[in-house]
Amino acid sequence: MTSALEHLKPPVPLQRREIRILGLMAIVAFSQGWTGTVITHSLPFVRETFDLSDAAIFDLLAIVRAVALLALLLSWWGDRGGRRRPLILALVTLAAANLATAFAPTAAAFTALQSVARLGSSAAGALALVLLAEEVNPLVRGYVLGSYALVVSMGTGFGLLLRQVGEMSDEAWRLLFGLSALPLLAVPIVILRLQESRAFARHEERPPLSAALRGGHARYFWPMAAMSFALAAFSGPAANLALVRLENELGWSASAASIMLAATSAPAVILGLLGGGRAADLIGRKPAEVVSLFVGVAGGIAFYFFEIGWVMAVGIFFSMLGAAAFGPAFTSHRAELFPTDVRATAGAWLSNAGIFGGLAGFGAGRFVVDAWGVPITMAALGAVVLASAALISLLPETRGAVLTQTAPAE
């Protein structure tokens, strides 16, 4: 037991300053995880309130993701004027939009408000990861980013446990959105304690919005963008339809579905984020990315191909394990491949590539799910992810890179 716990420790001890900034970012992470995923947790209830068809659900989720593309503007602001202010604005936007969603009178209003919330969630996550990557020792960067993601998952799990509130009445899901606005109370702490990233420096000539997509940065950006696209095309539908499959298709109760997801996801996320982050710091970003992609896709496909409870649970475990392990390796890799003056914007462009991928996944599902069925549709999207793993060979290994104003040497 002791030996296993040793493998979940950081490669080198964290300094007091690193612990302080990680603790502060944990507020953002928990808020993002809880508030940003209420739509997923409440979707079966919302579906019944507004009498939404399968096609309407695909359309709703696609619109929400499309609007989130605008989060790029907050990240561009982060590269031009500093990470701190747009991060705080994004956090406030997320919580406030969820509070307003509690009073949404129609499906259209619900979609519009959740689109704004998704914009805030995307920007908050992207900017927080950049700020953390710039503030910590390169030897523990993957571990720290994995720890951030772990707290995000804790927030998600907390929201999942609150799902029981949605069963109290036909429209009790509105209370879920109202409660998720509580992180607004923590905003004053972030405003008072959060300082600007030490790596950020103002320049008289600031790079244009498209700087990360062209020139010398393009050889890093486009392979990572293709991977982000493919992964989101699979993970977007897979994650958002899990509860719908369990409750609306297989007849599970909300409590049984929530308990099963929480019980299988929690240990997988802890092992994946901390173990995966440590592995990325010790053996490199690239091998950690490849292994985690294969594990995650295999688990996700298994969940949709079987109806036996324990087999589905195993599928969820490995799906979450792979996804969790991939996160810190990929976010560290992308932070290390781009210089400071385009780092946040590059991360936002890559997030947008993921959004486009999610839209493509939902779009493909929208048109083929009736003919193929959900399992075959998910398998096809998963195959695209596995094919994209070959693109990792086009990128340099960046483990241990010091984040400066210049791109890493090849």
Q: At CA 128, angle to CA 139 and CA 358, rounded to 5?
A: 105
Residues 6+ apart with CB under 8 A from 398: 285, 332, 333, 336, 337, 408
Highest mean pLDDT among 51-65, 92-106, 332-346: 92-106
Higher pLDDT, 1 or 144: 144
Averaged over 378-397, what is the pLDDT? 90
Find, among 134, 127, 108, the residue nearest to 56 by Cα: 108
pLDDT of 146: 83
Question: Model-level pTM?
Answer: 0.73
pLDDT digits (tens, 9 = 90+) for 110-121: 999 999 999 999
Q: At CA 120, angle to CA 181 and CA 201, rounded to 5?
A: 125
Averaged over 49-73, what is the pLDDT? 82
Residue 410: pLDDT band with limits 50, 70, 90: very low
C-alpha of 368 from chain center: 26
Higher pLDDT, 55 or 337: 337
For residue 334, CA distances in Å to 63, 120, 401 come to 27, 21, 11
Structural domains of the chain sorted by starting position, each given as residue range(s) with its CATH number in brackets = 15-198+210-394 (1.20.1250.20)
H-state helical runs in 241-339: 242-243, 254-270, 276-283, 285-305, 309-337
Helix (H) or strand (E) holding 312: helix 309-337
First to last CA, the chain: 40
CA distance 327 to 209: 25
Average pLDDT, the chain: 84
Averaged over 335-357, what is the pLDDT? 83
Residue 179 neighbours by CB distance under 10 Å: 17
pLDDT of 62 > 90? The answer is no
Helix (H) or strand (E) holding 106: none
